[in-house]
Structure 1
Amino acid sequence: MARRAPRYAEAKHNDRALLEAARKVLATDGAHASVAAIAARAGVGIASLYRRYRTKEELFQHLCALSLGQWIQAAEEGLAQDDPWEGLVHYVTAAIEFSAGALGPLAGTIEITDEMAAKFTRSDELTRALVDRAHEAGVLRADVTTVDVSLLVEQLGKSSLVEQFEVQGRTDLAEAAANARHRVIAIALDGLRAGHGSLPGSPPGPGLLAERW
């Protein structure tokens, strides 16, 4: 057990690095992102990567499950807050910050594992609970659905100005870019508040996001 502990810690560290790298590479390269590019960005050897994951698909399936786990954690933390609005804000902000929707380009390109399906269901249940609670409290506009919130998170969680400057090595603009991102998130959150006019079109169906997978 003692000998396995360092290897387990290293594996967890590599998982986090791979997930962060995959989000950034997928944001620019889409579903054609190579394992080599992800491994290089994560600082993980490609040989050691393939010793753990037999195929590219297996790696992406694992990363999707990890990402869904972060969605779940953010939603659980939001529900743990007493204030329905602050709980929803926490969830949306946290999910955007860790680029929850960045693995979207993988939709329809890999087989859904049982773990992915179970975590997606759980994530959807928790997000719905956050939205329902905010509706009941009268703080969330009545025509906003769970799918609307998930799509908002996905769109704002894609490659940001912060990451674009990071790729360019423009550390001098990192703080200004982060501030601009926080402002955009605040603007989007304000648009979710009750009291605004009606949204255009009809509400997206509950299966819209799941269908692409």
Structure 2
Amino acid sequence: MTPPARRAPRQAEAERNDRALLRAAKEVLAVDGAHASVAAIAARAKVGIGSLYRRYRTKEDLFRHLLSVTLDQYLEAAEAGLAIEDPWEGLAHYVHAVLDFGPGSLAPIAGTIALSPEIEEKNRKGDEAVAALVDRAHAAGVLRADASLIDVELLIEQLGKSPLLDQLGAQGRTELLGAAANARARLTAIALDGLRAQGNPPLPGEAPGYELFSARWERPEDD
């Protein structure tokens, strides 16, 4: 059997740098929002600014690639959830997996970048997979009837941003990060418990529509 070809050192380094840049971009976005600077992202990743610009011509290119990779992760998490026989465990797996991708959500860049047809197709596939998770949980009677797909997605977005973790990380208080992560895990368990069909009082108002989740990704110049 022929052994697999080894990657060239430069290729391996480029891949490590790219992973570091994508992670740093999410971390900086979680704190600075859409105003996150390329310089701050490069510094966070411990990658030279020249290396960043060799990989991504603009900040928009970096954010677009980050969005594409994140959508791949979300779809993989949803498909893994659907592969779990128990409908509730499958839905819970999706929620936990997306939160573990962390930190935060990509909502801050909504409306700031043009979405390619490829990204729109990935988003469609992801939406369908998550909808299947929610529909299956409803059909099994384990997800409260008045909780919608958008409720679940918006809940994940809210849980994904942890001011406590962000503040402690910025302060360099690494000795407290484990306890802070555990605190977020407890809150996630509390939130998931609130989604269970267990005689909870009705949710207020109307279920949010998809436009509430998606409209912010539209840019005025795209109309």
Q: TM-score band (shorter)?
A: over 0.9
1:113 maps onto 2:108 in alignment: no
Residue 210 of structure 2 is aligned with which of 187, 206, 209? 206
Establish whether residue 197 from structure 1 lines up as the match of residue 201 from structure 2.
yes
State the distance in 2 between where 1:80 and 1:86 align.
10
Change (3 A) 1:46 1:7: same
Q: Does 153-162 or 68-77 show the bigger shift? A: 153-162
Structure 1 residue runs of 4+, over 3 Å off? 2-12
Q: Structure 2: which 5+ runs fail to align? A: 218-223
Aligned counterparts of 2:15 and 2:140: Cα–Cα separation in 1: 39
CA RMSD of aligned residues (A): 1.8
Name which of 51, 56, 63 aligns with 2:54: 51
1:180-201 Cα shifts (integer Å, max 9, x gaps): 1111000000000002121001
- Residues 121-140 of structure 1 mapped to structure 2, 5 A cutoff: 121-140=124-143
Number of matched pairs: 213
CA distance in 2 between counterparts of 1:113 and 1:106 reads 14
Given the alignment of the two structures, is residue 24 of structure 1 paired with residue 43 of structure 2, yes or no? Answer: no
Q: Secondary structure at the match of 2:144?
A: coil
The TM-score with structure 1 as length reference comes to 0.93
The secondary structure found in structure 2 opposite 1:212 is: helix
How high is the sequence identity, in percent, across the aligned residues?
Answer: 64
Following superposition, the deviation at residue 6 of structure 1 comes to 4.4
Residue in structure 2 matched with residue 65 of structure 1 by the alignment = 68
Using the alignment, how far apart are the partners of 1:6 and 1:128 within structure 2? 42
Q: How does 1:89-104 map to 2 (within 5 A)?
A: 89-99=92-102, 102-104=105-107
The answer (yes or no) to whether the contact 2:31–2:166 under 8 Å persists in 1 is no
The one of 29, 35, 39 aligned to 1:36: 39
Cα distance in structure 2, aligned partners of 1:89 and 1:44: 36
Alignment of 1:144-155 (within 5 A): 144-155=147-158
- Assess, with a 3 A threshold, how the Cα gap between structure 1 residues 122 and 11 changes in structure 2: closer, same or farther: farther
User: Which consecutive unaligned segments of at least 5 residues does structure 1 have?
Assistant: none
